[in-house]
Amino acid sequence: MSIVLPPSAAPRSAYPADVLPEPVRRRLLELARGEAPVSAYLYDGRAAAARARELRAALPEWAAVHYAVKANSFPGVVRALAPYVDGFEVASRTELELALAALRERDGSPSGGSSPVPVVAAGPAKSVPVLTALVRAGIEAINAESLLELHRISRIAVAEGTTARVALRVNPAAGPVSAQASGSLRMGGQASQFGVPEPDVPGVLEQALRLPGLDVTGFHIHAASNNLDAAAQAAHLRRCVEWSTAIAREHGVDLRMVDVGGGIGVAFEELAGERPFDVSRFGELVARSEPPPGVRVVLEPGRFLVADCGWYAAEVTDVKHSYGTAFAVLRGGINHFQLPTSWDLVHNIAVLPVDRWPDGLPRPEAAGTRVTVVGELCTPEDTLLRDVRVDRVRAGDLVVFPYAGSYGWEFAMHGFLGHPVAERHLL
């Protein structure tokens, strides 16, 4: 069995400490004065809000931005985004409750009825309790993944004496729609657990339109993630609108929503010159794809809105030299921040020096050399960064990962070995 490790960072060097915003450095050094070793996420809600404002301002009025809560579910971040997004995308009851709480704070009382709550829901295996909560909440759309799920929603809605708004999630066949969805993680155009295969859509729609308690409002087509190509992302949106319009007309669907999913990428090495997603260009191209009157196009950005609003910091508990390799060992690791290993990416760091150190203890260090950053777990897979050159890193210093605001705390292996989970703080 091969061990999965992130790719080598060579010949990269660690970022200088002043890459970290001054309030981040100040707060981390405050935490370092405590007795417990630092292992924490810091979030800046203002940074997330700025991203949301930027994207919303670039898009036409018929497009809606629904934040994908799975990317970062910290309540302070969700609340910070609420005034600047049109709604939320959720995949569990916990996420639904977070979204509803943020909407109540923003709007007063996001009740159902004739005006749906601006929430859409997705996920390949929604349980009956989850579906029941979604139906009761009166959300904008449950993105149904299968014929069985449509039947379950219908049965729940009838029992509740209501009508559930649903969109059919489609896994597009290899062709024009799926071809425009480029990115590092493909979820359409191939065999997967997500959605209804495109050839099966006519038969599923025929049954869905006859089921009681359902209002079929449109389609959900999410085919890829982390796309940095604004033109390709805009082309995906255009193809989704064209396809949905044609299928709705052919099968008698009263089309009101086309959900194109997420997919807008993040340049994890923007600090080293990687080109970020061009939001302005994306908005210009999207504006040319106006849907039919009364149809709203929903985007579900997650990572794009919150990646650069967070930093993961962990104290170096030891610096070890083994057969020519230097290791910075953290109070933390993939039990707190699994993304670099799972996504096979180089996620660079900054080293924040901490002067405080107990008298009489040796203080090992690595200076002017390449270092591999590892965690506290009893497995060599607990490796966050390999072969990055540092000016100096010492036991007691803090290793800080920028761009850790998305799929960080939420995506980690909290239970393995039972170490304390990383703290979370809002600046």
Residues 22, 2: Cα–Cα separation, whole Å:
41
Beta bridge partners of 170: 196
For residue 206, CA distances in Å to 17, 35, 373 come to 59, 63, 55
Encoded amino acid at 208, one letter: A
Q: Which of 273, 293, 378, 415 is catalytic?
A: 378
For residue 233, CA distances in Å to 52, 82, 283, 285, 359 come to 17, 24, 10, 9, 56
Residues 223, 409: Cα–Cα separation, whole Å:
25
For residue 110, CA distances in Å to 104, 139, 207, 213 come to 6, 9, 31, 21
Residues 187, 141: Cα–Cα separation, whole Å:
20
The stretches of 138-229 forming alpha helices (DSSP H) are: 147-160, 176-179, 201-208
Beta bridge partners of 371: 326, 388
Q: Integer distance in angstroms from the first to the last C-alpha of the chain?
A: 42
The SS3 assignment for 402 reads coil
The SS3 assignment for 267 reads coil
309 is catalytic: no
Active-site residues: which are they? 378
